[in-house]
Amino acid sequence: MHATIIRRLVGWAVAVFHDVERTGPRLASGPVLVTANHPNALVDPLVIFHTAGRATRPLAKAPLFEQAVVGTVLQGLGGLPVYRRQDDPALMHLNERTFDAAIAALRSGEAVQIYPEGQSHSEPAMAPLRTGAARIALMAEEQAGWGLGLRVQPVGLTYTRKHLFRGRAIASYGEPFPVAPWRSAWERDPRRAVAELTEEIRRRLERLTLNFERAEDAAVVDVAERLYAHEKGLTRARGRDRMVERLPRLGRFARGLHRLRDEDPERLARLRRDVSRYMRILGLLGATEGDVPIGYGPGSVIRYTTVHALLLALVLPVAAVGVAYWAVPFLVTRHIVTGLRPELDQVATYKVGVGGMALAAWLAVTAVAIGLTAGWGTAGLAAGVLPACGLAAVAWGERRAVVREDLRIFLRLLRRRGRVTRLAELRAEIVAEIDAVIDRWGSDPAGVGPRDGSA
C-alpha cells in the first residue's frame, strides 16, 4: 500500500477512534527530534502524526515491524526499528543502523519521533528516560559540524479512557529548543552531555504530562479539579470541558497533590477520603463525567430535552444508515481484537490498526460492487456519502449518550434528595480544604484568581 494512502488512512482512523485535541506551538520546521511520553503504544505516533502538521518518522520496537497490520502501518509512516535487549539481545548491534538512519533523516531536514521511555506502559507516571534521544541529537549535530540547527521538541500525550472508542487524547506541544548549546559539554565529556540533555528532555516532558505516584491519585485529581472548577464558576455542573481547557488545571492540581504529600500528608488523607466518598455518590447518581447540580429548574429541563430531542431526531435517519452500513467492519474489528487479547496499553493500537484496515476494505468492496451494478458515478457518490453517514452515527451516538446520562441523573435527583444534599456538603468540605491550601501557599491550583472571581 502506498505510503501516502497509509498516512491518510491512519490519520483519519485515529481521529475517528479518539477525540483528538492539540495545544502548544506548532511543530518546528527543519530538522526536529520529537520526544514524547509513551502511554498508548502505536496510537502515540499516530496522534502526533495527526496533530504535527508535517510528516514525522517514528522509532518503534523492532518486533512491531514483523506484525502484519502494525508493521504495514509503521513502514508506511517511514518508521525506524529499535532493537531492545528484552526482545532479542542478538540483534542489539542493528541499532547502529537505526541510529544512522535517524541521523540521516534529521540531517535531511526531516522530523523524527522518539519515545525516550523505551516502551509503552500504563503506569501513572513517566518511566525513567533512556539516552537514545540525546545521543541521536548530539551525534546528528556533531556530524553536521554543529551547524545543523537541530531542535528537540517535547510532546506530552494525555488520554482519558485510552483503550475505548471515542476516548480523549490531547497532544501538548512544548517549545522546541536547540541542541547546539550542548556542544562544549559533548566535546569535554560525551557521556555527561548525553545525561544532561536527557535530563532536560525529562524536565520539559514532565511539565507537559500528568504524573502520579499512585494510579488512584489520577482519579482524585480529576474529580477534585472538576468539582472545584464547577464551584468557582469555570464550568457548568454538567459541562464537559475540552481537555485543552482542563489540562492546565489538572497539572496544577497534580503538582499540589505532590506538595501536599510532602508537606501536609494528613490534609491529603482527608482530601483523598472526601473525594473518594464524592466519587461513590457520583457513581450512584450515574455521573461518569462532569459534576452534579443541586437541582434543575423545570424550564431548563424542558428546553434541554426539547432541543436535544429535535437534534437527535433530525440526525437519526443519516445515523441509522451509518450504523447499518458500518456494522460489519465494526463487529469484525471487535471480534479480532478480542481474540488477540492485547495488553491494556496496546488495545487502542489494535483497534485503530485493525479497524482502519477493515473500514477501508469494506468501503472498497462496497464501491466496487456498486460500480459493477449501478455504475462508477454512483460508486463514487457512495464512497463519499457512506463515510459521512458513519461520522454522523458517531456524533449521534455521543450526543445520545450525553443526553441519556443527563436525564438519568435528573430522574435520580428527584428520588434521592438525601444524596444530593450529602454531595453538596462534601463539595463544600473539599473546596474549603483546597481553599485552605491556596491561602497557605498563595496560589490557586485552578487558576481562578481571587476569591470573588475578579481578575
pLDDT digits (tens, 9 = 90+) for 116-174: 998 888 899 999 999 999 999 999 999 999 999 999 999 999 999 888 888 999 999 99
How far apart (Å, rounded) are the C-alpha atoms in residues 128 and 198? 10
Of the candidates 31, 93, 37, 88, the residue with the CA atom closest to the CA atom of residue 65: 88
Cα–Cα distances in angstroms (integers) from residue 351 to residues 182, 252, 341, 392, in the given order: 41, 33, 11, 20
* Cell numbers representing residue 173 in the block: 506541544
What CATH topology corresponds to 3-208?
Glycerol-3-phosphate (1)-acyltransferase (3.40.1130)
| Amino acid in the structure at residue 228 | Y
Query: What's the CA gap between 188 and 128, in Å, rounded?
Result: 25
The residue written with cell numbers 438519568 in the block is: 408
Q: Which is it for strands 177-178 and 167-173: parallel, antiparallel or unpaired?
A: unpaired
Give pLDDT, residue 79. 84
Contact (Cβ atoms closer than 8 angstroms) between residue 357 and residue 69: yes
Spatial separation of the C-alpha atoms in residues 379 and 368, rounded to whole Å = 7
Domain ranges of the chain: 3-208, 213-455
Q: How far apart are CA 285 and CA 295, in angstroms?
A: 13
Of 83, 75, 79, which Cα lies nearest the Cα of 59? Answer: 79
Q: Give me the average pLDDT of each 10-residue run along the chain (455 residues).
A: 66 86 96 96 90 88 75 77 77 81 94 93 93 96 97 96 90 98 97 98 97 89 88 80 91 90 90 90 83 78 88 94 95 91 82 84 94 94 94 93 88 80 87 86 55 36
Q: What is the pLDDT of residue 397?
A: 93
Phi, psi of 24 (to 5 degrees): 100, 180
- Supply 216's cell numbers: 488512584
- pLDDT for position 449: 40
Q: Helix axis angle, 3-17 relative to 43-52, nearest 10°? A: 100
Residue 34, φ and ψ in degrees, nearest 5: -85, 120
Report how far apart, in Å, the C-alpha atoms of 326 and of each of 81, 322, 351, 378, 386 are.
34, 6, 15, 19, 9
